[in-house]
């Protein structure tokens, strides 16, 4: 009888310890994912604010009244997005991976670099960060509303994505698909391929330049829907 009681007690204790371990492990995972999400939130806010502000701040005519006046806006906008993602990747890449984009987080999930729960946390942080970045931009430029050459509300649409009226939505879809394919191909081959430069922080450089290329190619036609592009320079670790 004593032996049965001992076995019963041992089973209860084992289950209790196992349950505590599971709860503590889950709680630790949630807290860690929340901490990383806060950093993603801050970085995404800064990225969207800087990138879209470049579109708003170059909204006025930069050169005469010639047919090429809009072309002058492309380079500063493209370089702002590319350099912003590059510098932010160096700033937080060693902590969160530097995603700043739900699509990049989904790519890392498919590559088994992050859990489903962590991806959901990142998504929430990135979406809220984007909204806050846009709200801050509107707050910084709201006085421009109603002035000549500026959209009424909000100013210059806060740099939002629009499709050129000269092309169809099918054209725009294909353009965005090719731009996305190029960008994510560079991410996969630089930040994730351990046979390449993935073990260093150099992936931030080619990925930043690839974002510049995408903007230069797509801004005139689809405005380049890349206000939330990011990279993962630490996902393979």
Domain boundaries along the sequence of the chain: 30-222
- Which has more pLDDT, 186 or 63? 186
Reading the block at residue 32, the tokens are 């860690």
List pLDDT tens digits, range 201-224.
Answer: 678 899 999 999 999 888 877 665
Give the pLDDT of residue 130.
Answer: 94
Query: Cα separation of 183 and 161, whole Å?
Result: 18
Query: Cα separation of 67 and 49, whole Å?
Result: 29
Band of the pLDDT at 146, cuts 50, 70, 90?
A: low
Per-chain mean pLDDT for the chain: 77
Task: Provide the 3-class DSSP secondary structure of residue 98.
Answer: coil
Give the pLDDT of residue 128.
Answer: 96
Buried b (16+ CB within 10 A) or exposed e, 42-79: bbbbbbbbbbbbbbbbbbeeeeeeeeeeeeebbeebbb
List pLDDT tens digits, range 43-88.
Answer: 999 999 999 998 888 765 444 444 444 666 788 889 999 999 999 9
Buried b (16+ CB within 10 A) or exposed e, 126-156: beebbebbbebbbeebeebeeeeebeeebbb
Residues 83/211, Cβ–Cβ less than 8 Å:
no
Q: Which CATH number fits domain 30-222: 1.20.1510.10, 1.20.1080.10, 3.40.50.720, 2.40.70.10?
A: 1.20.1080.10
Express as a percent the part of the chain with pLDDT over 70: 69
Instruction: Give the mean pLDDT of 182-197.
Output: 84
- Which has more pLDDT, 175 or 145? 175
pLDDT score of 29 more than 90: no
Band of the pLDDT at 161, cuts 50, 70, 90?
A: confident
Query: Cα separation of 180 and 61, whole Å?
Result: 29
Give the pLDDT of residue 223.
Answer: 61
Band of the pLDDT at 235, cuts 50, 70, 90?
A: very low
Give the pLDDT of residue 13.
Answer: 42
Give the pLDDT of residue 63.
Answer: 41
Look at the block and give the residue holding tokens 């505590």: 20
Is the pTM above the cut of 0.85? no
List pLDDT tens digits, range 93-132.
Answer: 889 888 999 999 999 999 888 889 999 999 999 999 999 9
Give the pLDDT of residue 71.
Answer: 66
Maximum average pLDDT range among 67-71, 90-94, 159-163:
90-94
Give the pLDDT of residue 234.
Answer: 45
């Amino acid at each position: 009888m004593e032996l049965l009681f001992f076995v019963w007690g041992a089973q209860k204790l084992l289950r209790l310890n196992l349950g505590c371990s599971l709860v503590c492990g889950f709680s630790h995972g949630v807290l860690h994912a929340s901490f990383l999400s806060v950093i993603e939130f801050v970085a995404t806010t800064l990225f969207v604010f800087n990138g879209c502000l470049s579109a708003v701040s170059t909204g006025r005519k930069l050169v005469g009244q010639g047919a090429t006046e809009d072309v002058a806006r492309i380079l500063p906008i493209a370089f702002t997005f590319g350099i912003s993602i590059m510098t932010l990747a160096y700033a937080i890449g060693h902590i969160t991976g530097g995603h700043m984009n739900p699509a990049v987080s989904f790519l890392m999930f498919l590559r088994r670099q992050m859990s489903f729960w962590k991806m959901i946390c990142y998504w929430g942080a990135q979406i809220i960060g984007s909204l806050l970045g846009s709200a801050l931009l509107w707050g910084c430029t709201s006085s421009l509303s109603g002035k000549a050459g500026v959209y009424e509300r909000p100013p210059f649409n806060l740099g939002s994505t629009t499709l050129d009226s000269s092309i169809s939505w099918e054209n725009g879809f294909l353009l965005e698909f090719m731009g996305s394919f190029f960008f994510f191909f560079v991410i996969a081959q630089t930040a994730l391929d351990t046979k390449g430069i993935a073990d260093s922080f150099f992936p931030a450089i080619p990925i930043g330049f690839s974002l510049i290329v995408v903007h230069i190619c797509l801004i005139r036609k689809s405005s380049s829907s890349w206000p939330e592009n990011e990279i993962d320079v630490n996902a393979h670790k």
